[in-house]
Amino acid sequence: MDGNGRWAAQRGWPRIKGHKAGVQAAQDILEAASDLGIEHLTLYAFSTENWKRPGLEVTMIMALLRMYLRMFLPKLRSKGIRFHHLGAAEGLPPGVRQDLAGLEAQTAGHPGMVFHLAVNYGSRLELVQAARRCVEDGLAPLEVTEEALARRLWTAGVPDVDLMIRTSGELRISNFLLWQAAYAEFYLTECLWPDFRGPQLREAVEAYAQRERRFGGI
Ligand code: IPE
Ligand code: MG
């Protein structure tokens, strides 16, 4: 969800207005992805590195997150979408943790798409925690397999990433799903996140459909 700040700056508005518009885009994408029949959608809302931002921006993002998590519920209900928080609950303000867990509980039985929202997510932290769990579980060195590690990630049971979309013209992965995106197809667009809506998602999925995936084969 990159480019909120620049979207606001282009209009001479404070950054928070960009984040608000970014949440509208997220609502749109949620609906469009579910209508396209996508089974898992992950949005990268806040990384373990985003705490470095000015305190006021972080506070406002967290407040916005709480407000909008509530607003998401009717759409999650009408579309049968299940919510999942991806990231470290430790380190998040208690109210945010509560809301994330609450939305997971309220949507647990939903049969449709799974919407993973990455908040306080960092791929390296996730991998370190998975490695620690292997040790805690008493695994012998040869038992530490790709499957054993994958089962201990926050994405346990979720398929690998097929399509990774990066908005706002940035050309980096920013500690996002490093393990899970090993064979992901990348789609890079100049479009700023608040302008990334249903038509843009459909364009990305169409581009993905043209790719030939070989997974290291020929
Ligand atoms: C992404 O938009 C949203 C968050 C990381 C919370 P940015 O805030 O990174 O927007 P730019 O990159 O400054 O335009
Ligand atoms: Mg950014």
Residue 84 lies in a domain: yes
Mean pLDDT over 77-92 rounds to 97
Work out how many domains the chain is built from and give that number: 1
Residue 100 lies in a domain: yes
Mean pLDDT over 169-181 rounds to 98
Of these residues, 28, 50, 162, 175, which one is catalytic? Answer: 50
Residue 217 lies in a domain: no
Whether the predicted pLDDT of 111 surpasses 90: yes
At residue 127, the 3 state secondary structure works out as helix
CATH number of the domain bearing residue 108: 3.40.1180.10
Residue 184 lies in a domain: yes
Query: How many angstroms does the Cα of residue 175 sit away from the middle of ligand 1?
Result: 15
Domain limits for position 32: 4-209
Is there an atom of ligand 1 within 6 Å of 46 CB? yes
Q: Would the pTM of this model clear 0.85, i.e. be above it? A: yes
Express as a percent the part of the chain with pLDDT over 90.
99
Residue 32 lies in a domain: yes
Residue 218 lies in a domain: no
Residue 70 lies in a domain: yes
Mean pLDDT over 155-167 rounds to 98
Contacts of 81 (CB under 8 A, 6+ apart): 30, 34, 75, 107, 110, 112, 113, 114, 115
Position 213 scores a pLDDT of 87
Residue 163 lies in a domain: yes
Token pair recorded at residue 208? 């993905």
